[in-house]
Structure 1
Amino acid sequence: MNKFMDMLENVLMPVADKLNNNRYLTALRNGFMVALPLIIFGSMFVVIANLPFLDELIGEEAFATYQDLLGPASASTLSIMGLFVIMGIGYKMVEQRGGESVYGAAVAVASFLILTPQVVEDTAGGIPTNVLGAEGMFLGIFTAFFAAEIYQAFVKRDLTIKMPAGVPDAVSRSFSALIPIALTLTIFLVVRIIFGFTPFETVQEFIYTIIQEPLTALGSGLPATLIAVLLIQVFWFFGLHGQIIVNSVFDPIWYALNDQNLSAYQAGEELPNIVTKQFIDTFIVGIGGSGMTLAVLIAILLVAKSRQLKEIGKIATPPGIFNVNEPVIFGLPIIMNPLVIIPWLLAPVVVAFVTYMFMSVGIVPRPAGIIVPWTTPVLLSGYMATGNQIMGAVMQLINMAIVFIIWLPFLKVMDRQYYDNEQSEK
Structure 2
Amino acid sequence: MNKFMEFLENMLLPIADKLNNNRYLTALRDGFMVALPLIIFGSIFVVIANFPFLDKLLGEDAYTAYQNALGPASAATLSIMGLFVIVGIGYKLTQSYGGEAIYGGVVAAFLILNPQELDGVTGVIPTAILGAQGMFLGIFTAFIAAELYRYFVNKNWTIKMPPGVPEAVSRSFSALIPITLTLSVFLVIRILFSFTPFDTVQNFIYTIIQEPLTALGSSLPATILAVLLCQIFWFFGLHGQIIINSVFDPIWYTLNDENLKAFQAGTELPNVITKQFIDTFLVGMGGTGMTLAVILLIFLIGKSRQVKELGKLGGPAGIFNVNEPIIFGLPIIMNPLAIFPWLLAPVVVTAVTYFAMATGIVPKPAGIIVPWTTPIGISGFLATGNSWRGAVLQIVNLLIVMAIWWPFLKIMDKNYYENEKAKK
TM-score range, shorter chain: over 0.9
Question: In the alignment, which residue of structure 2 is the partner of 1:30?
Answer: 30
Question: In the alignment, which residue of structure 2 is the partner of 1:212?
Answer: 210
Q: Offset of 1:363 from its aligned partner?
A: 0.6
Q: Aligned pair 1:321/2:319, yes or no?
A: yes
Q: Offset of 1:360 from its aligned partner?
A: 1.1
| Separation in 2, partners of 1:403, 1:327 | 18
Question: In the alignment, which residue of structure 2 is the partner of 1:248?
Answer: 246
State the one-letter code of the partner of 1:341: I
State the one-letter code of the partner of 2:344: L
Identity of aligned residues (%): 72
| Separation in 1, partners of 2:207, 2:366 | 25
Question: In the alignment, which residue of structure 1 is the partner of 2:177?
Answer: 179
Question: In the alignment, which residue of structure 2 is the partner of 1:10?
Answer: 10
State the one-letter code of the partner of 1:406: I
| Separation in 1, partners of 2:172, 2:363 | 51
| Separation in 2, partners of 1:125, 1:183 | 23
Q: Aligned pair 1:366/2:385, yes or no?
A: no
Question: In the alignment, which residue of structure 2 is the partner of 1:78?
Answer: 78
State the one-letter code of the partner of 1:162: K
Q: Offset of 1:125 from its aligned partner?
A: 1.2
Q: Aligned pair 1:146/2:141, yes or no?
A: no
Question: In the alignment, which residue of structure 1 is the partner of 2:405?
Answer: 407
Q: Offset of 1:200 from its aligned partner?
A: 1.2
Provide, for residues 326-377 of structure 1, a one-character-per-residue CA deviation record: whole Å limited to 9, x for no partner. 1111111111111100000000000000111111111111001111010000
Question: In the alignment, which residue of structure 1 is the partner of 2:228?
Answer: 230
- Corresponding residue SS for 1:127: coil
| Separation in 1, partners of 2:121, 2:64 | 28
| Separation in 2, partners of 1:351, 1:214 | 26
Alignment of 1:342-353 (within 5 A): 342-353=340-351
Question: In the alignment, which residue of structure 1 is the partner of 2:51?
Answer: 51
| Separation in 2, partners of 1:363, 1:100 | 51
| Separation in 2, partners of 1:47, 1:261 | 14
- Match among 100, 113, 116 for residue 115 of structure 1: 113
| Separation in 2, partners of 1:212, 1:7 | 35
- Corresponding residue SS for 2:133: helix
RMSD (Å) for aligned C-alpha atoms: 0.6
| Separation in 1, partners of 2:327, 2:108 | 43
Q: Aligned pair 1:386/2:395, yes or no?
A: no
**Which runs of 5 or more residues in structure 1 are unaligned?**
none
State the one-letter code of the partner of 2:392: V
Provide, for residues 212-239 of structure 1, a one-character-per-residue CA deviation record: whole Å limited to 9, x for no partner. 1111000001000000010110010011
Question: In the alignment, which residue of structure 1 is the partner of 2:19?
Answer: 19
Q: Offset of 1:122 from its aligned partner?
A: 1.1
Normalised by the size of structure 2, how large is the TM-score? Answer: 0.99
Provide, for residues 136-182 of structure 1, a one-character-per-residue CA deviation record: whole Å limited to 9, x for no partner. 00000000000000000000010001111111111111111110000
| Separation in 2, partners of 1:419, 1:100 | 57
- Match among 176, 195, 198 for residue 197 of structure 1: 195
Q: Offset of 1:135 from its aligned partner?
A: 1.1
Question: In the alignment, which residue of structure 1 is the partner of 2:100?
Answer: 100
- Match among 298, 301, 304 for residue 302 of structure 2: 304
> Once superposed, which parts of structure 1, at least 4 consecutive aligned residues long, lie more than 6 Å away?
none
- Corresponding residue SS for 1:339: helix
Question: In the alignment, which residue of structure 1 is the partner of 2:283?
Answer: 285
Provide, for residues 239-267 of structure 1, a one-character-per-residue CA deviation record: whole Å limited to 9, x for no partner. 11101110101001011111111111111
Question: In the alignment, which residue of structure 2 is the partner of 1:42?
Answer: 42
| Separation in 2, partners of 1:357, 1:113 | 39
**Which runs of 5 or more residues in structure 2 are unaligned?**
none
Q: Offset of 1:117 from its aligned partner?
A: 1.0
| Separation in 1, partners of 2:405, 2:290 | 11
| Separation in 1, partners of 2:93, 2:346 | 33
| Separation in 2, partners of 1:11, 1:317 | 34
Question: In the alignment, which residue of structure 2 is the partner of 1:127?
Answer: 125
Question: In the alignment, which residue of structure 1 is the partner of 2:269?
Answer: 271
| Separation in 2, partners of 1:133, 1:357 | 28
- Corresponding residue SS for 1:296: helix
| Separation in 1, partners of 2:119, 2:23 | 39
| Separation in 1, partners of 2:172, 2:60 | 53
Q: Offset of 1:393 from its aligned partner?
A: 0.2
Instruction: State how many pairs are aligned.
Output: 424
Question: In the alignment, which residue of structure 1 is the partner of 2:62?
Answer: 62
Q: Offset of 1:209 from its aligned partner?
A: 1.4
| Separation in 2, partners of 1:329, 1:114 | 47
| Separation in 2, partners of 1:166, 1:41 | 42
State the one-letter code of the partner of 1:70: L
Q: Which moved further from structure 2: 304-313 or 354-363?
A: 354-363
